[in-house]
């Protein structure tokens, strides 16, 4: 399949009427799959009402069929077509964070979207993205659009159109290139079907920010510990992983450098993911600086670009520093833990 690429300047006015957006929307209406930028990561969109269209997403990504998709809408008025009711606690969250990097889980209205979108669950995940290109495309298509991150299953999510091309060129109908995304990690997924809203996947909106709006917010244990049956099915799969095995390292930089030296003496090629505070200190085959510990939004923004960059350096092992789990740091650490398959080497363990 020939994958069409459209380039769109997200800062232009009236994007909706652009021929690139109109063409991409037309392909979505014809049940084809189109990648597009959101404020978090690139999404791989298809008509959420069509089995045939949604099946193409799963096929292109190699995604397990039991992992449900997020439905993207452009306006609040589309929500009531998808859900049985809007829980009281969801309203202030929607008012505060939509459009934005927050996905809410509702009881789904039967028949509203393809069963493939919800993977047999009786709930549906919905968000309004905060990106002018995504909103223009959703408005032009005039459909609810199911969209997972536009990467091959297991790989880090794409934050640049080039990442989508690397993973999916020739497998999808088109890519709208609207430049790099902003937030860099995916939306926060919050279950609103119970009494207390519960975070199923940490993301662009932090627990602290939500608590400031609605009080108590719980965190599903599967976001912290590996778990066989997480409430968000996607959380059980290995994700975000560079090709070389990754290990989190928890200790002083001098200790970490000794560990690196030891491995390199054994002939291994070593990569390091470090903060700006320590990156210059390390000697290894590839050292990537993902930003200052004092600006975790910037670390989140850079994270997937860095994880993908390791794949170009033929490494045998990658060591990644750990970060604070406060604010958006919770999402950064969740992704790093998953990329490392929860493998951590601690200085106190005498390594």
Q: Are 339 and 241 in contact (CB under 8 A)?
A: yes
CB of 102 to ligand TXA, least distance (A): 9
3-class DSSP state of 317: strand
Burial of 185 (0-12, 13-18, 19+ CB in 10 A): buried
Burial of 313 (0-12, 13-18, 19+ CB in 10 A): middle
Identify which of residues 149 and 334 has a Cβ nearer to Mg ion in the complex.
149
- Site map (CB under 6 A) of ligand TXA, residues 83-102, x = contact: ------------------x-
Give the residue carrying structure tokens 């009531």: 80
Residue 300 binds which entry of ligand TXA, Mg ion, none, with Cβ cut-offs from 5 to 8 Å by kind? none
| Cα distance between residue 185 and residue 255, in whole Å | 30
Per-residue CA distances from 303 to 71, 221, 280, 323 (Å):
25, 23, 18, 12
Stretch touching Mg ion by CB under 5 A, among 25-33, 61-69, 144-152, 300-308: 144-152
Task: Report CA 188 to chain centroid distance, whole Å.
Answer: 9
Return the half-sphere exposure (C-beta side, CA atoms, 13 A cut-off) of residue 184.
Answer: 20
Stretch touching ligand TXA by CB under 6 A, among 47-55, 181-189, 259-267, 294-302: 181-189
Stretch touching Mg ion by CB under 5 A, among 10-18, 145-153, 171-179, 214-222: 145-153
Identify which of residues 179 and 233 has a Cβ nearer to ligand TXA in the complex.
233
Question: Considering only residues 274-333, where is the footprint of ligand TXA by CB under 6 A?
Answer: none
| Cα distance between residue 185 and residue 205, in whole Å | 10
Stretch touching ligand TXA by CB under 6 A, among 115-123, 253-261, 266-274, 320-328: 115-123
Q: Are 26 and 45 in contact (CB under 8 A)?
A: no
Residue 153 binds which entry of Mg ion, ligand TXA, none, with Cβ cut-offs from 5 to 8 Å by kind? none
What do you get for the CA distance between the two ends of the chain, in Å? 50
Binding test (CB under 6 A) with ligand TXA, winner from 27, 33, 34, 41: 41
Which helix (DSSP H) or strand (DSSP E) does residue 296 occupy? helix 296-310
Strand 198-201 and strand 188-191: pairing?
antiparallel
Identify which of residues 42 and 98 has a Cβ nearer to Mg ion in the complex.
42
Residue 125 binds which entry of ligand TXA, Mg ion, none, with Cβ cut-offs from 5 to 8 Å by kind? ligand TXA
Identify which of residues 116 and 282 has a Cβ nearer to Mg ion in the complex.
116
Q: Are 332 and 296 in contact (CB under 8 A)?
A: yes
Binding test (CB under 6 A) with ligand TXA, winner from 20, 49, 103, 159: 103
Q: How many residues does the chain have?
A: 351
Strand order in 246-250's β-sheet? 286-289, 270-274, 317-321, 246-250, 344-346
Tokens of 158: 């794409």
Stretch touching ligand TXA by CB under 6 A, among 87-95, 145-153, 253-261, 331-339: 145-153
- Site map (CB under 6 A) of ligand TXA, residues 222-251, x = contact: ---------xxxxx----------------
CB of 44 to Mg ion, least distance (A): 9
Stretch touching Mg ion by CB under 5 A, among 32-40, 106-114, 141-149, 206-214: 141-149
Q: Would you count residue 149 as binding Mg ion (CB under 5 A)?
A: yes
Q: How many Cβ atoms from other residues are within 10 Å of residue 17's Cβ?
A: 10
CB of 149 to ligand TXA, least distance (A): 4
- Site map (CB under 5 A) of Mg ion, residues 91-130, x = contact: ----------------------------------------
Footprint of ligand TXA (CB under 6 A): 38, 40-41, 43, 67-70, 101, 103, 105, 118, 121, 123-125, 129, 147-149, 186-187, 189, 200-201, 231-235
């Amino acid at each position: 399949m020939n994958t069409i690429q459209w380039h769109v300047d997200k800062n232009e006015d009236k994007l909706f009427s652009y021929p690139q957006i109109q063409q991409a929307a037309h392909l979505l209406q014809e049940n084809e799959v189109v990648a597009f930028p959101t404020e978090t990561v690139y999404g791989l969109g298809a008509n959420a009402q069509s089995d045939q269209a949604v099946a193409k997403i799963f096929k292109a990504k190699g995604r397990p069929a039991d992992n449900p998709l997020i439905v993207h809408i452009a306006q609040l008025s589309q929500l009531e077509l998808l859900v049985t009711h809007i829980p009281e606690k969801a309203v202030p969250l929607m008012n505060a964070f939509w459009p934005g990097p927050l996905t809410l889980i509702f009881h789904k209205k039967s028949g509203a979207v393809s069963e493939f979108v919800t993977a047999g669950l009786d709930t549906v995940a919905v968000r309004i993205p905060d990106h002018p290109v995504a909103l223009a495309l959703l408005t032009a298509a005039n459909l609810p659009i199911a969209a997972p991150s536009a990467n091959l299953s297991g790989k880090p999510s794409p934050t640049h159109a080039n990442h989508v091309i690397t993973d999916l060129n020739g497998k999808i109908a088109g890519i709208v290139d609207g430049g790099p995304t902003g937030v860099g990690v995916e939306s926060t997924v919050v279950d609103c079907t119970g009494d207390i809203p519960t975070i199923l996947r940490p993301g662009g909106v932090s627990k602290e920010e939500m608590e400031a709006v609605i009080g108590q917010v719980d965190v599903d244990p599967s976001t912290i510990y590996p778990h066989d049956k997480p409430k968000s099915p996607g959380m059980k799969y290995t994700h975000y992983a560079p090709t070389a095995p990754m290990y989190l390292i928890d200790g002083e930089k001098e200790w970490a450098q000794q560990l690196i030296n030891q491995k390199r003496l054994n002939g291994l090629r070593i990569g390091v993911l470090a903060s700006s505070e320590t990156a210059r200190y390390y000697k290894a085959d590839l050292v990537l600086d993902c930003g200052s510990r004092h600006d975790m939004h910037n670390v989140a923004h850079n994270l997937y670009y860095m994880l993908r960059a390791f794949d170009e350096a033929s490494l045998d092992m990658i060591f990644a520093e750990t970060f604070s789990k406060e604010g958006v740091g919770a999402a950064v650490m969740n992704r790093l833990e998953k990329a490392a398959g929860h493998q951590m080497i601690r200085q106190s363990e005498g390594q």
